[in-house]
Amino acid sequence: MDIAELGFDPTDRAFLADPYPVYTRLRAAGRALPDDSGRWYLPHFADVHAALRHRGLGRIYQHRFTDEEFGRPATEQQHPRWAESERWSLLNLEPPDHTRIRRMVSSVFTAKAVAGLRPVIERAASDQWDAAGSGGEVELIADYAQPFSITVICALLGVPVQDGPDLLRWSHAIVKMYELHSTPAERSAAEQASAEFIEYTQGLIARKRAEPLDDLVTRLVQVREDGGGLTDAEIVSTVIVLLNAGHEATVNTLGNGMRALLRHPEQWQRIVTGEVSTADAAEEMLRWDAPLQLFERWVLDDGVELAGRTFTRGDRIAMLFGSANRDPQRFPDADAFDVGRGDAAHIGFGAGTHFCIGAPLARLELDVSLERIRSAAPELSAAAEPEYQPYFVIRGLQALHLRTVA
């Protein structure tokens, strides 16, 4: 059965507002469901989990095949600067390039380095909440989450905080290219943003090379493995993906999760009273209304067996993270929002080779933000009904207006 017949329509605002009943129908209908574009959608946790680790699948195919060999039309690059920004992105690369670059990035972007940022993150959370919430009402997305996240990333990268609005603007434009349906205007804006972000990052690299400081970009410039280091192009893609993926994940998880807490006030009380830790609550926020709903892979080899069928080279797999995270075969009472669930084995950050390298930082930002909101505004209510952005792949709210009582 075609997936659209079951109600899957990423252009429909009603579906975007609540895709989860449709996901229930998808899981009941089968393990691999086609659409009219040639994609095969996987709605079950076990199949998504397996696909993320399957060596016969890849984010790209160009490391092994030409377009002709892969049965695809010749690539006509209409957005060359965006493609340049993505060329060495860890989200897209496959081994051996992915292995080499990730190993070097991981050697300087360590769990210890992230943990060392806690005082910076706590200060940013406190300052931003105080600035946003002094009047008794907070718009969580624009007034707190976005500037907070950008401040943290600026501190991590060694970027002047006054450049934050440009980084935010570029990120919002570029991520539209990941959607299943983007408009010509959105693609044009992403191309322009990519060009500006590349040029900015190239200048940043040059400054860090001339005047090294204690920040991530300096460490990316200096890192060496077997006598070689990262090229400027590789650093550019790494900086862009760290900003875009990290910022969008933190902001959207916080917005989606706080909306869930407002709709389940008994769960918020469990956090306020300390019955449930803010770290555990953050994991349930990531699972229950995931900021990334879909991730795609190409089938690289004939005979790949997955989700109860055999795929051929050139097939396209769309893994439905949002559905997988609500699969009752993996998560008991999966549609229940339970901040004390204590299960971090969701697919909010992916899995396998492309597991999000920024997951520790995102988790820390969410933990600190929940701690700050809990202490500053234990009594919360919605000041207006929130609406989701009109996008599917990256799921987040347009705004979330909160009334606060200290």
Q: Does the pLDDT value for residue 133 go beyond 80?
A: no
* Residue 353: per-residue pLDDT: 86
| pLDDT bucket at 113, cuts 50 / 70 / 90 | confident
* Residue 245: per-residue pLDDT: 83
* Straight-line distance from the first to the last Cα atom of the chain, in angstroms, rounded to the nearest whole number: 52
Q: Give the CA distances from residue 82 to residues 177, 187, 192, 193, in Å, rounded to whole numbers and listed in that order.
A: 9, 9, 8, 8
Amino acid in position 109: F
Q: Give the gyration radius of the chain's Cα atoms.
A: 21
pTM: 0.94
Please report the DSSP string for 229-285 in residue order.
Answer: E--HHHHHHHHHHHHHHHHHHHHHHHHHHHHHHHH-HHHHHHHHTTSS-HHHHHHHH
228-273 pLDDT, tens digit each: 899 999 999 999 998 888 888 899 999 999 999 999 999 999 999 9
| pLDDT bucket at 399, cuts 50 / 70 / 90 | very high
State both tokens at 186.
């959105």
By the 8 A CB rule, do 367 and 278 touch?
yes
* Residue 406: per-residue pLDDT: 55
| pLDDT bucket at 76, cuts 50 / 70 / 90 | low
| pLDDT bucket at 220, cuts 50 / 70 / 90 | very high
φ/ψ of residue 328, rounded to 5: -65, -15
By the 8 A CB rule, do 17 and 259 touch?
no
Q: Tell me how far apart the alpha carbons of residues 297 and 303 are, in angstroms, rounded to a whole number.
A: 15
- Match 């600026």 to its residue by tokens: 154
Number of domains in the chain: 1
Q: Tell me how far apart the alpha carbons of residues 393 and 16 are, in angstroms, rounded to a whole number.
A: 10
| Arithmetic mean of pLDDT over the chain | 93
| pLDDT bucket at 134, cuts 50 / 70 / 90 | low
Range of the domain at 188: 3-405
* Residue 269: per-residue pLDDT: 97
* Residue 244: per-residue pLDDT: 87
144-177 pLDDT, tens digit each: 999 999 999 999 999 999 999 999 999 999 999 9
We report the CATH number of the domain holding residue 53 as: 1.10.630.10
**Residues found in the chain:** 406
Q: Give the CA distances from residue 10 to residues 7, 239, 256, 324, 326, in Å, rounded to whole numbers and listed in that order.
A: 9, 29, 18, 17, 18
292-323 pLDDT, tens digit each: 999 999 999 999 999 999 999 999 999 999 99
118-128 pLDDT, tens digit each: 999 999 999 99
2-28 pLDDT, tens digit each: 899 999 999 999 999 999 999 999 999
Q: Give percent helix, percent strand, percent coil of the chain, each to the nearest 5.
A: 55, 10, 35
* Residue 126: per-residue pLDDT: 95
